């Protein structure tokens, strides 16, 4: 069974801090995604990666960056956290387009 | 641009009643369609998916969905709802032309009253 692990379940950071959200998967999938989930807006894609060191912007990349140095690890970086980045962040991985996404349990980030 | 619309933000049904959650999409290509469920405090779980073939697909937990190309819809149904079905449901759409990206709807929160 695919396991997607997000390092923190809850995180509280101050405005202006640099924040790292980590995601690790154990199934050797090439494709990894970062979404944010907000009430009434569903899941919105921030960034995705289809291979090591490869990344593409999603629909709302502003204020975020990512790092994929190893296949199993995909990190989301908030260079300077702002209050409007308070949200639930979900990491997901998929083998190919015919397969379902596998999600982590999410990191609820609060920026004060 | 591709988009997914779930017109109902909240739906309340009685336990044992039938359920239909609506999903409409706007895509320029032949879509792949998914329904995911998120129970409170839990991650997202795949209920069912449609890629091709029979337009009526069966999923887990007694759910089914029907792809109607002419209506650009992929509505989720269940004949008899159980209290444990209370959750948030997300429709998601992808397409071969867009790689492995999925676009999600805003979600529908299902409440079940006994």
What does the pLDDT look like over B60-99, one tens digit per residue?
999 999 999 999 999 999 999 999 999 999 999 988 777 7
Q: Is the pLDDT of residue A95 over 70?
A: yes
Select from A40, A42, A96 the Cβ nearest to the Cβ of B104. Answer: A42
| Position A110 pLDDT exceeds 80 | yes
Name the residue with higher pLDDT: B5 or B1. Answer: B5
Tens of pLDDT, residue by residue over A62-72, are 999 999 999 99
Token readout for B56 is 């009526």
B40 touches chain A (CB under 8 A): no
Within 8 A by CB and 6+ apart from B58, the residues are B48, B64
Three-state SS string over B8-63 comes to CCEEEEECCCCEEECCEEECCCCEEEEEEEECCCCCEEEEEEECCCCCEEECHHHC
Name the residue of chain A whose CA is nearest to B104's CA.
Answer: A43
Could you say which DSSP state residue A16 is in?
A: T
> CB–CB of A90 and B43 under 8 A?
yes
What is the share, in percent, of chain A residues with pLDDT greater than 70? Answer: 98
Q: Which residues of A touch B99 (CB under 8 A)?
A: 50, 97
Distance to chain A for B12, nearest Cα, Å? 17
For residues A94 and A29, what is the distance between their CA atoms, to the nearest angstrom? Answer: 6
Within 10 angstroms of residue B15's Cβ, the number of other Cβ atoms is: 14
In this predicted structure, the answer to whether residue A100 has a pLDDT above a threshold of 90 is: no
Interface test with B, best of A43, A74, A88, A103 (most B CBs within 10 A): A43
Residue B26's contacts (CB-CB under 8 Å, 6 or more residues apart) are: B1, B2, B3, B4, B5, B72
Helix, strand, coil % (nearest 5) of chain B? 10, 55, 35
């Amino acid at each position: 069974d695919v396991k997607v692990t997000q390092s923190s379940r809850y995180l509280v950071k101050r405005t202006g801090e640099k924040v790292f959200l980590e995601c690790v998967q154990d199934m050797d999938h090439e494709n990894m995604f970062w979404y944010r989930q907000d009430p009434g807006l569903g899941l919105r894609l921030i960034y995705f990666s289809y291979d090591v060191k490869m990344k593409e912007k999603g629909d709302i990349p502003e204020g975020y960056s990512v790092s994929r140095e190893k296949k199993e690890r995909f990190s989301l970086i908030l260079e300077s956290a702002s209050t409007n980045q308070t949200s639930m962040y979900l990491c997901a991985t998929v083998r190919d387009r015919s397969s379902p996404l596998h999600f982590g349990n999410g990191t609820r980030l609060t920026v004060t | 641009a591709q988009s997914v619309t779930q017109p109902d933000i909240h739906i309340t049904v009685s336990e044992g009643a039938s359920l239909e959650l609506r999903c409409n999409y706007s895509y320029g290509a032949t879509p792949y369609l998914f329904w995911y469920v998120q129970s409170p405090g839990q991650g997202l779980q795949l209920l069912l998916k449609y890629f091709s073939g029979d337009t009526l697909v069966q999923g887990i937990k007694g759910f089914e969905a029907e792809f109607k190309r002419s209506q650009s819809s992929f509505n989720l149904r269940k004949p008899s709802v159980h209290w444990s079905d209370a959750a948030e449901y997300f429709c998601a759409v992808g397409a071969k032309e867009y790689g492995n990206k999925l676009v999600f709807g805003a979600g529908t929160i299902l409440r079940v009253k006994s």
